[in-house]
Chains A and B, each alone.
Chain A
Amino acid sequence: MADMMFISRHRPLALLAAAVLAQVMLLAYQIKREHDVRLLRYWAAEVVTPTGRAGTWGFSRVAGVWEGYFALHHAHVENEQLKAELGELQLRNRELESQAAEGQRLAGLLSFHEAHPETSMLAAQVIDASADPASRTMFINRGDRDHIRRNMGVITPEGIVGKIVETYPTKSEVLLISDKDSGVGALLADTRTHGVVKGGGDSGPHLDYVVNDEKVHAGEVVVTSGEDRIFPKDLLVGKVAEFHPGNPFQVIRVAPAVRLDRLEDVLVLLTQQEIAPKKADDTSAAASPSATEDIVQTETVPTGSPITLPAGTNPEAPAANASKPATTTGAPAIGSNMRGAKPVPSKSVPPKASGTDRQKSSQESAGSTPHQ
């Protein structure tokens, strides 16, 4: 009402404004600016665009507030679904990672096996460990049905693991080299000094029967000597972690080459045929021919092994050969279990380190149950 009175009172002015505006519009319709756009359109766009922009901004804000604060009744359900999906994906991811790791391990085993086709091996998986915390044993998923026999060596591409001490139809028990009852014929790769790697239990394996005069250095590679009739020679056992003089032999602690507490896949040696190094970088585990001339190299198959032996091979040969003086260090003949073996100082032959004793020890390692 007040607006109508205002317009009526200023009617001439309002009419003037209307007349001018109408003519301005008429002009704007005729005049063309850049890009041949009529001025009227240009003005319309200039007027409408900010309004539309402001409207769009306001609408988006309102919509954002609505969707961000009020319309969240589906967010909880969606969140739960996403969490469930995330859990499934994480589980799937872990499965894939585990499969990938297993694939890598198996690829390593396969590569090692293919690199040594002359040696019969059987892949196995670690399925269990000993319930006795004092013993270092584990179970693998291969047994009698897979032609697994006692005293077969168990290795990985990284080094030796232990030996079979008990077999069952579908599984076998492996005595790790870290067990206190374990003994492995070994030698220092650099000086070819022979000794026996004994499992020390909690303290870890250590190399025994190395006289104090022998030069040993930390990090020196320890390999198998092959004298135990279980492991072929020159398989990597580990490295010298620390050493110090003892009485009567040096105390040399050996760091195993294999992480014995993280084993998942292993190889069981079905024969004791020598595994020759294939690569130059494996020379750390290789022994010089001269130093191994007096080491038994006869292929040995444990009792009951289904492996076909080469022609002329006498299964009893290991026991016979074991009577041969073993090393220049004067170490006793190596059996799977060194219990009862009398250590002998290097370069000396004490009465108890006779060939008979060594033969007995070899016979135990070749046919009997050493840990019983």
Chain B
Amino acid sequence: MASVLNPTAQSESNIEVHRFYSGAVIAVAFLALILQAFLHKYGTWSELVDLPLLVTIYFGVSRRNPVSGLLLGAAIGLTQDALSHDNPIGLYGIAKTLVGYVASSVGARIDTEHPLSRFALVFVLFHFQQVILAIMDRVLLNHPAPMFTLRLLLSSFATAAAGVVLFALLDRLRRSS
């Protein structure tokens, strides 16, 4: 995992690939998971923002490497499952694996530096993750999970807005080429 997430990893030659300081990816991902769990006990408002999703999307679109993107997403998702109370291990893992892969693929094709595009990208990938979670809930867990609710819409806006801010902060971790 560490080797895959190494900033020296190669990417497609004609795409601008951002590199980060050593250990920054792991540290940010770990911090996001800790904060998500820590903030949860201070109120339900913290549930509106999915910090692990934002970290997955950011490093996916920044590195533009689908392999590292899906592996980072899998790692974050499995850890998130492990920290949850009743989620079976793999539920968020699958969802964030797909999100990381899609984010890496999309980041190689569109501009992800503009705040508006980042907002839209996070908004879409948030619902993409919810669709995957709902499908797995229905198919695997046999739970009738909704694909879209007003709360989910609100959460997607909150996460997208938080993503714009967070992405700007995370841009400071980039190593200058």
- Which of B93, B94, B140 touches A31 (beta carbons < 8 Å)? B140
In the assembly, what is the distance between CA of A316 and CA of B115, in Å? Answer: 154
Q: Tell me if B136 counts as interface (CB < 8 A to partner A).
A: yes
Kindly list chain B residues whose C-beta atoms are within 8 Å of the C-beta of A23: 74, 78, 90, 93-94, 97
Which of A13, A23, A26, A39 gathers most chain B CB within 10 Å?
A23
Q: Tell me if B98 counts as interface (CB < 8 A to partner A).
A: yes
- Asked, given contacts A12-B67, A15-B67, A39-B140, whether A27 binds B98 with beta carbons under 8 Å apart, the answer is no
Which of B94, B98, B142 gathers most chain A CB within 10 Å?
B94
Report B141 CB to chain A, min CB distance, Å: 6
- Which of B67, B94, B104 touches A24 (beta carbons < 8 Å)? B94
Q: Tell me if B52 counts as interface (CB < 8 A to partner A).
A: no
Q: Tell me if A278 counts as interface (CB < 8 A to partner B).
A: no
**Structural contact, B141 and A12, CB atoms closer than 8 A:** no
**Structural contact, B142 and A33, CB atoms closer than 8 A:** yes
Q: Tell me if A28 counts as interface (CB < 8 A to partner B).
A: yes
Q: Tell me if A16 counts as interface (CB < 8 A to partner B).
A: yes
Interface string of A1-45 (1 = CB under 8 A from B): 000000000011101100110011011101101000001000000
Report B134 CB to chain A, min CB distance, Å: 15
**Structural contact, B90 and A16, CB atoms closer than 8 A:** no
In the assembly, what is the distance between CA of A42 and CA of B59, in Å? Answer: 37
> Across the two chains, which residue of chain A brings its CB closest to B77?
A23
Which of A12, A16, A24 gathers most chain B CB within 10 Å?
A16
**Structural contact, B140 and A20, CB atoms closer than 8 A:** no
Report B138 CB to chain A, min CB distance, Å: 12
Interface string of B18-54 (1 = CB under 8 A from A): 0000000000000000000000000000000000000
Report B79 CB to chain A, min CB distance, Å: 13
In the assembly, what is the distance between CA of A26 and CA of B88, in Å? Answer: 9
Interface string of B46-75 (1 = CB under 8 A from A): 000000000000000000001100110010
Q: Tell me if B91 counts as interface (CB < 8 A to partner A).
A: yes
Q: In chain A, residues 288-317, which have Cβ atoms closer than 8 Å to a Cβ of chain B?
A: none
**Structural contact, B66 and A12, CB atoms closer than 8 A:** yes
Number of interface residues of B (CB under 8 A): 20
In the assembly, what is the distance between CA of A68 and CA of B100, in Å? Answer: 60
Number of interface residues of A (CB under 8 A): 16
Kindly list chain A residues whose C-beta atoms are within 8 Å of the C-beta of B140: 24, 27-28, 31, 39
> Across the two chains, which residue of chain A brings its CB closest to B94?
A23
Q: Tell me if B89 counts as interface (CB < 8 A to partner A).
A: yes
Q: Tell me if B101 counts as interface (CB < 8 A to partner A).
A: yes
In the assembly, what is the distance between CA of A26 and CA of B97, in Å? Answer: 14
Kindly list chain A residues whose C-beta atoms are within 8 Å of the C-beta of B70: 12, 15-16, 19
In the assembly, what is the distance between CA of A13 and CA of B66, in Å? Answer: 8
- Asked, given contacts A19-B97, A23-B94, whether A31 binds B88 with beta carbons under 8 Å apart, the answer is yes
- Asked, given contacts A27-B94, A33-B142, whether A19 binds B71 with beta carbons under 8 Å apart, the answer is yes
In the assembly, what is the distance between CA of A39 and CA of B90, in Å? Answer: 14
- Asked, given contacts A12-B67, A19-B74, A23-B74, whether A30 binds B97 with beta carbons under 8 Å apart, the answer is no
Report A154 CB to chain B, min CB distance, Å: 96
**Structural contact, B101 and A30, CB atoms closer than 8 A:** no
Report B78 CB to chain A, min CB distance, Å: 7
Q: In chain B, residues 79-125, which have Cβ atoms closer than 8 Å to a Cβ of chain A?
A: 88-91, 93-94, 97-98, 101, 104
**Structural contact, B90 and A27, CB atoms closer than 8 A:** yes
**Structural contact, A16 and B88, CB atoms closer than 8 A:** no
Kindly list chain A residues whose C-beta atoms are within 8 Å of the C-beta of B93: 23, 26
> Across the two chains, which residue of chain A brings its CB closest to B69?
A12
- Asked, given contacts A24-B94, A30-B89, whether A16 binds B136 with beta carbons under 8 Å apart, the answer is no
- Which of B66, B89, B104, B142 touches A27 (beta carbons < 8 Å)? B89
Kindly list chain B residues whose C-beta atoms are within 8 Å of the C-beta of A11: 67
Kindly list chain B residues whose C-beta atoms are within 8 Å of the C-beta of A33: 142
Report B102 CB to chain A, min CB distance, Å: 10
Which of B90, B93, B141 gathers most chain A CB within 10 Å?
B90
Kindly list chain A residues whose C-beta atoms are within 8 Å of the C-beta of B71: 15, 19
- Asked, given contacts A15-B67, A19-B70, whether A27 binds B97 with beta carbons under 8 Å apart, the answer is no
- Which of A16, A19, A31 touches B141 (beta carbons < 8 Å)? A31
A/B interface sample: 26 pairs, CB < 8 A: A11-B67, A12-B70, A12-B101, A12-B104, A13-B66, A15-B70, A16-B97, A16-B98, A16-B101, A19-B70, A19-B97, A20-B94, A20-B98, A23-B93, A23-B97, A24-B94, A24-B140, A26-B90, A27-B89, A27-B90, A28-B140, A30-B88, A30-B89, A30-B90, A31-B140, A39-B140
- Using a CB–CB distance below 8 Å, which chain A residues touch chain B? 11-13, 15-16, 19-20, 23-24, 26-28, 30-31, 33, 39
- Given A16-B97, A20-B97, A24-B94; 4 other pairs, CB 8 A cutoff: A19-B71, A19-B97, A23-B78, A24-B140
Q: Enumerate the 3 nearest inter-chain pairs by beta-carbon distance, A residue then B residue, closest first.
A: A12-B66, A23-B90, A27-B90
